[in-house]
């Protein structure tokens, strides 16, 4: 059964076999959030990671619990899996923290990368494995849910000096986007093979895969367009 809103969307997209061509604004949750870096929605709750190390919790009515979790550095990524929150914290080196849904710390470990290019969602969880980008060494590091190193995946598509975002794309695959190069690539997480690469319309800030669709959040402020969403086909990277 799907456990979060993205999984529900993925299931519906798989059933319909139709790719969306547009998006419609439905609602907005407001709150006093100091420069949000990342967000994750799970079982009706939105967790917002901030530049000051705080994670705020927001329910469907917009009620916010400030400092639900408090770290010492920028919160780069939050991902929910099996009623646990996996959090990537900026630092030298990075740190990965695991919390339960009450805000209780379960585990922490250090990650080999450093905070040289810290923007972007650089962690996702798939099939009980935690995948984290190591831009400094151009690889993906794979841990089990307890933080034990399992393997490394060479990944030359990750730039050492560019903002990177990545997400699970199903069927043993992931998608990596790079900000300045405006590239999105689909990569096999077993072999490291690059399956396709697409040049994006604008610089990418984040990405998420929903069923057969990849949604890429883009930075349009330079063109006074605001945040844009580019919709790609998961199978071939086409718009």
pLDDT digits (tens, 9 = 90+) for 39-52: 889 999 999 999 89
CATH architecture of 5-18+36-233: 6 Propeller (2.120)
- What's the CA gap between 113 and 141, in Å, rounded? 10
What does the pLDDT average to over 22-40? 70
Mean pLDDT of the chain: 81
- What's the CA gap between 216 and 129, in Å, rounded? 23
- Minimal CA–CA distance to 77: which of 89, 65, 63? 89
How confident is residue 3, by pLDDT bands cut at 50, 70 and 90?
very low
Is 186's pLDDT higher than 80?
yes
The H or E element spanning position 11 is helix 5-16
How confident is residue 226, by pLDDT bands cut at 50, 70 and 90?
low
pLDDT digits (tens, 9 = 90+) for 56-90: 999 988 888 999 999 999 999 999 999 999 999 99
- Three-class SS state of 13: helix
Q: 144 with 127: CB under 8 angstroms?
A: no
- Four-CA torsion 230, 196, 121, 169, nearest 10 degrees: 90
């Amino acid at each position: 059964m799907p456990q979060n809103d993205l999984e529900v969307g993925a299931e519906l997209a798989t059933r319909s076999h139709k790719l969306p061509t547009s998006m419609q604004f439905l609602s907005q949750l407001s709150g006093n959030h100091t420069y949000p870096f990342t967000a994750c929605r799970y079982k009706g709750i939105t967790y917002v990671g901030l530049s000051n190390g705080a994670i705020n919790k927001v329910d469907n009515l917009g009620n916010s619990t400030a400092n639900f979790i408090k770290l010492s550095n920028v919160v780069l990524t939050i991902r929910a899996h099996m009623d646990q929150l996996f959090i990537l914290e900026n630092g030298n080196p990075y740190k990965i923290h695991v919390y339960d849904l009450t805000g209780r710390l379960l585990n922490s470990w250090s990650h080999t990368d450093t905070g040289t290019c810290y923007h972007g969602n650089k962690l996702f969880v798939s099939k009980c494995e935690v995948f984290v980008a190591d831009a400094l060494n151009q690889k993906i590091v794979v841990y089990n849910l307890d933080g034990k190193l399992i393997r490394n995946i060479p990944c030359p598509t990750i730039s050492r000096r560019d903002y990177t975002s990545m997400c699970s794309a199903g069927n043993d695959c992931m998608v990596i986007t790079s900000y300045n190069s405006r590239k999105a690539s689909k990569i096999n997480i077993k072999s490291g093979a690059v399956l396709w690469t697409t040049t994006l319309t604008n610089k990418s800030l984040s990405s998420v895969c929903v069923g057969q669709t990849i949604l890429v959040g883009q930075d349009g402020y330079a063109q006074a367009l605001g945040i844009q969403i580019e919709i790609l086909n998961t199978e071939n990277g086409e718009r």
